[in-house]
A and B are shown apart, each in its own frame.
Chain A
Amino acid sequence: MIETRVVEDEAAACPYCDRPLPSSRLRALHLGEEHAEAMTAADREAYEAARDAETDELFVFHLKVIGAIAFMYAVFVLAYMVALS
């Protein structure tokens, strides 16, 4: 059992394992990942919507990751050029 502490009142607790989740999106994702068999049709719909929204956000995030990798690569190439010249 993972220890949790709730700081806000409007926490959405998981109806199956009582784990409190800080947002309805995380609650929907949690249900889909951990209780896929038990959840209701409404929960499934919420899960799919939350997952789509997260996929979009993840795509933007990954673009930034690739940008950061390219940036660091460039910095290191320059650093080596300067250091070895």
Chain B
Amino acid sequence: MTRAGRIGIAVGIATLVLAGRVSAHAGTLGSATDAPPLPGWLLVVTGGGVVGISFLFTTLVTDHDLLRSTVERGRTLSISSSLRHGVSVLGSALGMAALVGVVLIGFLGPRDATANLAVLGVWAGWWAGYTVSVYLVGNSWPVLNPWRALVGSVERVSDRTAGWRARTLPGDGVWPATIGLVALVFLEVVMPIAEQPRLLATIVVGYTVLTVAGAVRYRDWFARADPVTAVFRWYGRLAPFGPDGDGIGARLPGAGLVRGDPPSAWGVTFVVTLLWVTTFDGFVSTPAWAAVARPVLAAGIPRLVVYLVAMLVGLGLFRGAYRLACRGSRRNAGTYVTTTAIERWFVVALVPIAAGYHLAHFLGYAVSFGPPLVAGLGSPLAGASVPVAVLPDWFGALELLFVVVGHLVAIAVAHALAFELFTGRLQPIRSQYPFVLVMVGYTVTSMWIVSQPYVRPP
């Protein structure tokens, strides 16, 4: 049997083995959850299997020209410069109003988090709902970004900033944004930001001071150091709408990821970090994490240290797994393209996975807290009184579906990228085996996390 055949079968077997191993967890822990009509382990195995099988289906599409034209397909709508200007003024005003509103309501509104519009607005409205719009529709953050608008007004007031703005951040790439993203998610996990409106408002003020100071000093702050802008920039490339010359371009979802240039080495670490923090966010609220963390915390190790170590170890594992998959891809394809170049080339395929996971994790949040948020806008300081929407039972199954769909888009994106980078029709397919193995394992892991009952992180 040829190598390809052996590996093809190995993928199939690995799907079942990996799934079987995880099912051991899901069987014991999943039984406590609001059980779907099917056994939890079977759903999770099916997810892994669907990802594996859809890879097999993509191998049937081997026409370079067809793939290229699919990626390039789209329309561009040009926008007049006056309309662009109007939208940008309106967007900054909206963003600024939201920022000021969050800070004021956070400090002055009700102390109860579920009644405070600042908390609802930031978590359900912005981080859950708005982020979904960024990868499902398009990245409107450059227009709305209140901090960019603030920096613009600081510059108009004082011309002293002109001299400072000549500086750029030291080093290369998005390393400051990577550190910033880790720091933000760390804060979110270890501090009760979502429960104490005053704390949330303080953090928003702190973030504002840091961002404005940084952006006034370094002209490449938003391009390299602001984690929020960087997250939305990556998610926006997945979206069906995006900037195209002087207008807005419509394209197939994910095509924007294949079209652009590969990121720098730090861009690779940033995307892997984005994937890891979305996973970590969900992982710390599983019973499994609680079972591990409680004894460690009881032994007297400080909470901050436990979470920081867990976060950095997990990040190291994810980064290492991606490096290994790329090394495997290099060996399997039989190519002289370096592992580093392969890492940079394929990393964009991780974005749909992160987005699918985000959707699974946060859509329910946005939907259930949407009614009180919208109803509360009429009387911002009094707070929300409308009850939270109750999600139907099938919503859990929908969440699992989002995880799988994210991986399917990733498979398609990676397939198109492989045919762009490698030669012929068999080399690109062979280059994908290690990625598919890792992806099937990751699908199973993240479906397991999503299907777990929520436990408050210890």
By a CB distance below 8 angstroms, the chain B residues around A2 are 337, 341, 345, 421
- Evaluate contact between B423 and A84: CB separation under 8 angstroms: no
Q: Across chains A and B, which 8 residue pairs bring their CB atoms closest together, nearest first?
A: A3-B341, A29-B424, A4-B336, A64-B5, A30-B423, A20-B336, A5-B338, A3-B338
- Evaluate contact between A54 and B426: CB separation under 8 angstroms: yes
Interface residues of B in 11-46 (CB under 8 A from A): 11-12, 15-16, 38-39, 42, 45-46
- The reply to whether the CB of B97 lies closer than 8 angstroms to some CB of chain A is no
- Evaluate contact between A68 and B12: CB separation under 8 angstroms: yes
Task: Report the minimal beta-carbon distance from B334 to chain A, rounded to whole angstroms.
Answer: 6
- Evaluate contact between B421 and A72: CB separation under 8 angstroms: no
Chain B residue nearest to A55 (CB atoms) is B425
- The reply to whether the CB of B49 lies closer than 8 angstroms to some CB of chain A is yes
B interface residues (Cβ-Cβ under 8 A, vs A): 2, 4-5, 8-9, 11-12, 15-16, 38-39, 42, 45-46, 49, 52-53, 56-57, 59-60, 62, 64, 334-338, 340-341, 345, 421, 423-427, 429
By a CB distance below 8 angstroms, the chain B residues around A21 are 336, 423
- What are 18 A-B interface contacts by the 8 Å CB criterion? A2-B337, A3-B337, A3-B341, A4-B341, A21-B423, A22-B335, A26-B334, A33-B423, A51-B424, A54-B426, A61-B5, A61-B426, A61-B429, A64-B9, A71-B9, A71-B12, A76-B46, A80-B42
Q: Which of B2, B8, B39, B425 contacts A54 (CB 8 A)?
A: B425
Q: Which of B45, B62, B64, B335 contacts A79 (CB 8 A)?
A: B45
Most chain B CB within 10 A, of A61, A73, A75, is at A61
A interface residues (Cβ-Cβ under 8 A, vs B): 2-7, 11, 19-23, 25-26, 29-30, 33, 50-51, 54, 57-58, 60-62, 64-65, 68-69, 71-73, 75-76, 79-80, 83-84
Question: Given A61-B429, A75-B16, 6 other A-B contacts at CB below 8 A?
Answer: A19-B336, A29-B423, A54-B425, A54-B426, A57-B426, A72-B53
Q: Which of B49, B425, B426 contacts A72 (CB 8 A)?
A: B49
CA distance A25 to B11 in the complex (A): 27
Task: Report the minimal beta-carbon distance from A73 to chain B, rounded to whole angstroms.
Answer: 8
Give the interface SS of chain B, mostly helix, strand, loop or mixed. helix
By a CB distance below 8 angstroms, the chain A residues around B39 are 83
CA distance A6 to B42 in the complex (A): 45
Chain B residue nearest to A65 (CB atoms) is B56
Most chain B CB within 10 A, of A4, A6, A58, is at A58
CA distance A3 to B427 in the complex (A): 17
Task: Report the minimal beta-carbon distance from B139 to chain A, rounded to whole angstroms.
Answer: 27
- Evaluate contact between B421 and A60: CB separation under 8 angstroms: no
By a CB distance below 8 angstroms, the chain A residues around B56 are 65, 68-69, 72
Contact status of A23 and B334, CB under 8 A, knowing A58-B425, A76-B49: yes
CA distance A59 to B421 in the complex (A): 22
